[in-house]
Amino acid sequence: MSIDRQRLEQEALQFISKGQNEKALERYVTLLKAEPRDLRLRQQVADLYLKLSRNPEAEKHLREIAKQLRAGGKDRMAIGVYKQVIRLKPDEAALYVEMGDCYGAASLPQDAKASWTKAVEMLARTRPDQAVEVVEKLIRLDPGDMPLKVRLAELCEAANWGERSSKEWRKLAQEARRLGRIEDRARFAEQALRRRPDDLESLSEAADARNAMGEYELALKHLQRALQQAPEALGVLRSLGEALDGLGAKDKARSVWREVARVAHREGDPEGRAAALRRAAEAGETDPAVLAELAEAQRLAERAALRLTDQAWAEPTSPTELAVWARARTLAQYGFAERARVEVERTGSRALSLLVLLAELRAEVGDGKGAAQVLRSLNPSKPEAIEQIGVRISVLEGRDALGLPSRPATPPPADDDELLEDEPTGGGDEDELLDDDALDEGMVEELDEDGLEDEGDGDAQDDGGWPTDDGLEAEDDPPTGGADEDASWSFLDEPAPAAAAPDLAADLFADVLGPPTVSSAPSASAPRPAPAARPLPPAVEDAFALLLVGALDAAEAAAKRDRTLHGERALAAILERRGDAGSALRGLQDALDESAEADPGYAEALLALAALNIGAGKARRAQRQMDEAADLLGAAAEPELGRLRRAMALLGL
């Protein structure tokens, strides 16, 4: 039935002028029923309800007005409506959130911040899970606000989100490290450990921070847990060396630094190996074989650090070369090495400076083979250039890292209780880590209460050597299984009980750290059974099958049907196949950041991310991810980890 809109509006206005609001409201309600999307009519109805003190009806219409305004992109106009609703419902936090959203959409950040902050104050105690979402909005508004990030971690904890809160505290510890705020770094890392007491990354962060603060005994508490999980993790071993140096336990420190050098050499880190041997020398190392090894390690480290683009003979010789060279180096400096490589290749130039630059850019993006190929095509005239190109090729092809012994040349001494002995074994005075000579009596008592006292000693085993391909003699290749995983670090003769799996960390550092700290959480040193092979979701199987034959679009469509980390891993592989390794790395990293260890495909995604980081030359990140994947998968990860370690060695990472 049609209505006479003009007549009804005139009647309504007349009733309003006479103060007859009820009758005016009847006319406007009739009009609104005929045209429900007319916001002017709905506002009139809401105003009349307010005049008649019928607040619930007024609120209903005001909310509808705000909803329609936001749907039409008129957020600025909606702000005034929200203010009216808030006057009716001042205790409803959601209204402040929505009004803050309108301020944000209207480019009024300070007003948005005020509204969202008010909402957080209202939600923090009763609904911390909802407050988390609002704090995330505030952080996006001001990414550098550390107190806000602390509030986010606290709210996640209040919401009883253990995994998420631990993750946020870890991120805070990393940011504090970047900002040089050592005390905050320690505090944040230790907060993360409250929820995940055996998280290796948090343990390493906390130990490094305590070392930096000179609180070495506290660092050892964290290292005790870390070593149970990863007795050969370079970062953990370096922290142990720092703590022992700080406590004045020089004999123990020397042994640890030698072990750091061995692991760094095995993992293809010549600079790390040289640095560790220097620390051993600084701790009083006098063994001629170790000092000779140090000289060789420093030579190899210098070769690994050589960059041909830094040499005078490789500088541009014309303005045209200089323009390309300068632009490409600037791009690489700011993290766009792949883009810089493409730009140099597009020039097609055969100029020496640009070919050298191209080789170094290829090496930077993980294409060591391609870099060596470019360098082999050069024909320089200067002897210095010929020699340095040869050195760089040998490093890129991994010959420097792989042609030497796989562990330090010095075998452990025959009577050899280097790490675990309680009594001196020679003419000199042995520094005991936590005896009365190293620490004052009060500190010893405090550490003993925490399980850091000396426990005993044992005997090392001395192994024979085996000839490498190049004729150099090295120590025995470490066995891949069994209780004695590394003969040069096994110091206890008594076999482990038959029912228990070997606990390498406890064996290696029992004298240094005492018995493992008891935790309410499951022990990280307990044997982790190798998981059974886990089949991929069907969509992911399809994606990898299609990827194998180069049907990338079809593979991508299949991968997107699976929302687990398995699907994200497949998408990353597709991006890498398309030549966009950077996007693959970022996408997979984001997916892992938003996931928990229990999520399907978490460990496999870690291994894939480690491979991408190795390709990008980010060895430290890759190693952390490999360590975590090894912890999650146990023996099942070893074949893939072996390939990744080999790749790192070949690339000189």
Q: pLDDT (tens digit, 9 = 90+) per residue, 542-562?
A: 888 888 777 888 888 888 888
pLDDT category of residue 94 using cuts at 50, 70 and 90 = very high
Range 376-397 average pLDDT: 90
pLDDT the model gives residue 652: 74
Tell which residue, 44, 36, 90, 95, has the closest CA to residue 68. Answer: 36
Say if 157-303 and 538-651 have the same CATH topology. yes
- Domain 538-651 CATH (choose: 3.40.309.10, 3.60.20.10, 3.40.1440.10, 1.25.40.10): 1.25.40.10
pLDDT category of residue 594 using cuts at 50, 70 and 90 = confident
Q: Does the pLDDT value for residue 451 go beyond 70? A: no
Name the CATH architecture for the domain at 157-303. Alpha Horseshoe (1.25)
What digits encode the pLDDT tens for the residues 132-141?
A: 999 999 999 9
With beta carbons less than 8 A apart as the criterion, state whether 616 and 581 touch.
yes
Domain extent listing, the chain:
5-148, 157-303, 308-400, 538-651
What digits encode the pLDDT tens for the residues 180-218?
A: 899 999 999 999 998 889 899 999 999 999 999 999 999
Which fold does the domain 5-148 belong to in CATH?
1.25.40
- Structure-token pair, residue 247: 């406590």
Task: Please provide the average confidence, as pLDDT, over all residues in the chain.
Answer: 78
What digits encode the pLDDT tens for the residues 643-653?
A: 888 888 778 77
Beta-strand relationship, 465-467 and 473-475: antiparallel
- Domain 308-400 CATH (choose: 1.10.10, 3.30.70, 3.30.450, 1.25.40): 1.25.40
- Spell out where 272-377 has E strands: none
Range 97-118 average pLDDT: 94
Q: Does the pLDDT value for residue 296 go beyond 80? A: yes
pLDDT the model gives residue 638: 79
With beta carbons less than 8 A apart as the criterion, state whether 540 and 513 touch.
no
Q: Does the pLDDT value for residue 131 go beyond 70? A: yes
- Structure-token pair, residue 250: 């020089």
- pLDDT top residue among 440 and 97: 97
pTM: 0.54
Range 351-362 average pLDDT: 93
pLDDT the model gives residue 2: 63
Query: ∠178-183-188 over CA atoms, to 5°?
Result: 75
pLDDT category of residue 524 using cuts at 50, 70 and 90 = very low
Percent of the chain residues topping a pLDDT of 90: 38
